[in-house]
Structure 1
Amino acid sequence: MAEATPTMVFVYGTLKRGFPNHPLIAASACPFAGAASTAAPASLVIGPYVVPFLLPAPSSSSGRLVSGELYAASRAALAQLDALESQLIAIRPQGTHIGLYERRRITVVVDGSGEAVEAEAYFANPSYAEALWRRCGGEAAEIGEYTIEHAAKYVPPGERSDATSGLLDAIHSFIDTAPDS
């Protein structure tokens, strides 16, 4: 039986080559398909623990083209990426399940060739995305690329002070805290 066509995945943060979580994508045997950027503006902000979050542009005047990398993921590799990005499922006290990220379709443009490619990317969950964008500073905080300088300050899950409560709780605490606190 023929293997299913791989799913193109656009990564914009810690999964890029040379970044802290790239060994996870490399272990998933996802072939690198090229550098790319979003075809339409999106909002990329940095939240707690210097974790990057991609958000749909909240308004027609906001957002930037976001740079990243494109990978071809098999069904099994996509499941592994979903598991990673899901430190994804968090169970709230009310018993509801809220994912940190939501995998969505996006059009990206491959650097060099200019080819438009349909891919999947991990976006911040809509339950907190707009509040996170505002708390980060809105349009003033949007960046076009998560850089190695950002990644140098990234705090891996095992080194976070709230390792038992999780990133979702850290996001909500961050959102609820005034910027100058």
Structure 2
Amino acid sequence: MLWAPRRGMPAGLHGPPCSLECAPVSSGPAHTVRSLGVPARWPLPTVDSPAHCPGVCLVLSLCPTADVFVYGTLKRGQPNHKVLLDGANGRATFRGRGRTEEPYPLVIAGEHNIPRLLHLPGRGLRVAGEIYAVDEQMLRFLDEFEGCPDMYQRVRVRVALLEGEASGEPPAAGSSRQCFVYSTATFPPDWAQLPHLDDYDSQGPHGLRYNPRENR
């Protein structure tokens, strides 16, 4: 099912002008993302701007690449990074390391110890991660891999650059990018009370090692 298109160039995309953009949607007590008809298990926030749109089925047929910010198991050295390296999934090019300009709660939750970025801007910590330029095929793969819109929703956030594509290369002062990120607005209320992380590592001192999909 396609997300309702709007004209204009979405931030975070590169290439010729794009004719598609997420349309804003509101959701409330009905616990449904109305334009998608997807039932949600917990109330979702009202969305007033496409910059924080919960829609995930954005087609990039006219846009060669998009910036995606990864903060969990897709980072280098983490259990699922291999899917970004697999050309069968599409193309992903490392652009640098960054940190969200706004704080968010990054928690480890669920029986498989999955890192989850809760869509509660202004709470938690500024989260560190990596920025990748991905093509349409990889973006479609990531949408499916991240289980959106049920498990995660693809939204846009602004990310301050920490280093450039060459390891250790300092970015220009004040450099930032608007990136897609997979966060979740569908979570039990008690997840927001879990310990907040600013830089995820599956083997970190938290002791909650990620359980890979192949072991479940």
Q: Which residue of 2 is the match for residue 117 of structure 1? A: 177
TM-score normalised by L of structure 1? 0.70
Aligned counterparts, 1:10-159, within 5 A: 10-27=69-86, 28-48=90-110, 49-57=112-120, 60=122, 62-86=123-147, 88=148, 99-111=150-162, 112-113=170-171, 114-124=174-184, 126-128=185-187, 130-134=189-193, 136=194, 141-150=195-204, 153-159=209-215
SS in 1 for 2:132: strand
Is the CA contact (8 Å cut-off) linking 1:47 and 1:132 kept in structure 2?
yes
Structure 1: segments with no counterpart, 5+ residues: 89-97, 161-181
Closer, same or farther: CA 157–72 of 1 in aligned 2, 3 Å? same
Offset of residue 4 of structure 1: 2.4
Identical pairs, percent: 31
Provide the rounded CA distance (Å) in 2 between the counterparts of 1:129 and 1:118.
28
TM-score normalised by L of structure 2? 0.60
RMSD over aligned Cα, in angstroms? 2.1
SS in 2 for 1:65: coil
Say which is worse superposed, 31-40 or 148-157, in terms of deviation.
148-157
Q: How many residues align?
A: 141
Provide the rounded CA distance (Å) in 1 between the counterparts of 2:182 and 2:144.
12
Provide the rounded CA distance (Å) in 1 between the counterparts of 2:151 and 2:67.
21
Offset of residue 127 of structure 1: 2.6
Structure 2: segments with no counterpart, 5+ residues: 1-15, 17-61, 163-169
Closer, same or farther: CA 129–78 of 1 in aligned 2, 3 Å? farther
SS in 1 for 2:126: coil
Provide the rounded CA distance (Å) in 2 between the counterparts of 1:64 and 1:154.
21
Offset of residue 128 of structure 1: 1.5
* Greater helix share, structure number: 1
Structure 1 moving runs of 4+ over 4 Å: none
Closer, same or farther: CA 122–5 of 1 in aligned 2, 3 Å? same
Provide the rounded CA distance (Å) in 1 between the counterparts of 2:158 and 2:188.
20
Offset of residue 63 of structure 1: 1.3
